[in-house]
Amino acid sequence: MTLKLEINPIKEWLPHIDNPLLVSGPCSLESEEQALETAKLLAQDKRVFIYRGGVWKPRTRPGSFEGVGSIGLKWLQTVKKETGLPVGTEVANAQHTEEALNAGLDVLWIGARSTASPFVVQEIADVVKGTDAVIMIKNPVNPDVQLWMGAVERINQAGIKNIVAIHRGFTPFRETKYRNYPNWKTVIELKRLLPNLPIICDPSHIAGKREYLYEISQKAFDMGMEGLMIESHRDPSCAMSDAAQQLTPADLGKLLDKLVIRHENANNPSFESQLDVLRNRIDALDSELLEILASRVTIVKQIGQYKRENNVTALQMNRWTQLMNNRVNLGKRLDINETFVKILFQLIHEDSVRMQTEIMDEE
């Protein structure tokens, strides 16, 4: 079920925007000089619309650099005055939020750890209530779309209409080449549930390394996201936090030059017509697929009844192993992704076992 919240499009609060939204700046502000020099370099690229700079840095463990604190807000004020760029920072509690609003910051964002706590989000919502603040909300550290959606709702219920979701990836459950697992399906689900919510991507935190920034950024545009938040530092080698994932402003410009911006619709009647033909074929195939699955369910129930009559367990591992191997091998011959086949038949088999178990439990 989709939910239609009263949320403004980005152009409503950033009327001069003529490209996808790009938010850029250092992971952490380290000095007024570093903040201003980086900002002046970024301001030369008209594709950068908002300057970001971390002031308070929540760290997993104490002892590492945790930001310069409130003094950084004054540096952001200087950046805004000297470059004309709107400025923003992350807030992690009510006090941060009050200070940032009092300093006149244009954008506040809620980090992944904070989004994971409804208590923290509600504290921030209580502070911004009655303002026209722009609030960006990163996904929680775990792929819980309801938690992410709940944070959006809490901020919206405080009367905030200028809201943007930020996809920054999720804590990986296994070893991956990225710092955080993209898990694009969670973003797709959020877009389905909140169709008018603008969503941008944070490739820096997904990647963890600058060499992966381009591929993630392009994927974000391919998925129809409305912009990017990319960390940029005048000299990433000297950065006090997340040095490996930051770009110089010059390298950011080169990355942007390579990106292909996708559009939701094409201004081409023949394209739309051909797309409709292909989609109709997909619809027909999906109907056939569901009919085939319905036939499979009927046979599964017959097997469940037969097993019950003969006092045999619903789950038989030898059969399951054989089935999975056969389906994966067939998928390879048909050029279907192996991971997709495994996930699909895992779901099908789990539901088959569930149905057979229910039959066995019948009185």
Give the closest residue to 221 by CA, choosing from 252, 193, 272, 262: 262
Task: Identify the pLDDT of residue 147.
Answer: 97
| pLDDT (tens digit per residue) in 24-61 | 999 999 999 999 999 999 999 999 999 999 999 877 77
**Whether the predicted pLDDT of 269 surpasses 80:** no
Task: Identify the pLDDT of residue 307.
Answer: 92
Distance of CA 248 to the CA centre of its chain: 24
CATH code: domain 10-258 is: 3.20.20.70
Decide if 182 contacts 169 (C-beta within 8 A): yes
Three-state SS at 89: strand
Instruction: Work out the number of other CB atoms within 10 angstroms of the CB of residue 264.
Output: 5
In this structure, what is the dihedral angle of CA atoms 145, 147, 151, 157, given to the nearest 10 degrees? 90
Decide if 172 contacts 164 (C-beta within 8 A): no
Identify the sign of the CA torsion 143, 149, 154, 156.
positive
Decide if 240 contacts 65 (C-beta within 8 A): yes
Tokens of 76: 């952001």
In this structure, what is the dihedral angle of CA atoms 223, 227, 228, 233, given to the nearest 10 degrees? 150
295 pLDDT band (50/70/90 cuts)?
very high
Residue that has been written with the tokens 């089935």 in this structure:
323
| pLDDT (tens digit per residue) in 137-159 | 999 999 999 999 999 999 999 99
Distance of CA 127 to the CA centre of its chain: 25
Cα 289 to Cα 207, 280, 299, distances in angstroms:
37, 14, 16
Cα 335 to Cα 330, 331, 332, distances in angstroms:
9, 6, 5
Whole-number Å distance between alpha carbons of 143 and 208: 18
Range scoring the smallest mean pLDDT among 156-165, 227-236, 309-318? 309-318
Task: Identify the pLDDT of residue 363.
Answer: 66
Give the closest residue to 122 by CA, choosing from 146, 99, 80, 150: 150
Write the CB contacts of 156 (distance below 8 Å, at least 6 apart in sequence).
5, 6, 7, 163
Beta bridge partners of 54: 28
Tokens of 154: 């809490």
Task: Identify the pLDDT of residue 297.
Answer: 95
Within the chain, which residue ranges are assigned CATH 3.20.20.70? 10-258
Higher pLDDT, 63 or 17: 17
Average pLDDT, the chain: 94
Tokens of 164: 């943007």
Q: What's the rounded mean pLDDT across residues 165-183?
A: 92
Whole-number Å distance between alpha carbons of 18 and 162: 18
User: In terms of CATH architecture, what is 269-361?
Assistant: Up-down Bundle (1.20)
Whole-number Å distance between alpha carbons of 303 and 192: 37
Higher pLDDT, 271 or 75: 75
**Whether the predicted pLDDT of 64 surpasses 90:** no
Task: Identify the pLDDT of residue 59.
Answer: 73
Decide if 97 contacts 60 (C-beta within 8 A): no
Whole-number Å distance between alpha carbons of 169 and 164: 16
Within the chain, which residue ranges are assigned CATH 1.20.59.10? 269-361
Three-state SS at 190: helix
Phi, psi of 199 (to 5 degrees): -130, 130
Whole-number Å distance between alpha carbons of 206 and 338: 24
**Whether the predicted pLDDT of 116 surpasses 80:** yes
**Whether the predicted pLDDT of 204 surpasses 70:** yes
Task: Identify the pLDDT of residue 362.
Answer: 83
Q: What's the rounded mean pLDDT across residues 241-263?
A: 95
Q: What's the rounded mean pLDDT across residues 67-96?
A: 97
Give the closest residue to 190 by CA, choosing from 51, 47, 2: 2
Range scoring the smallest mean pLDDT among 15-29, 72-86, 262-276? 262-276
Q: Model-level pTM?
A: 0.83
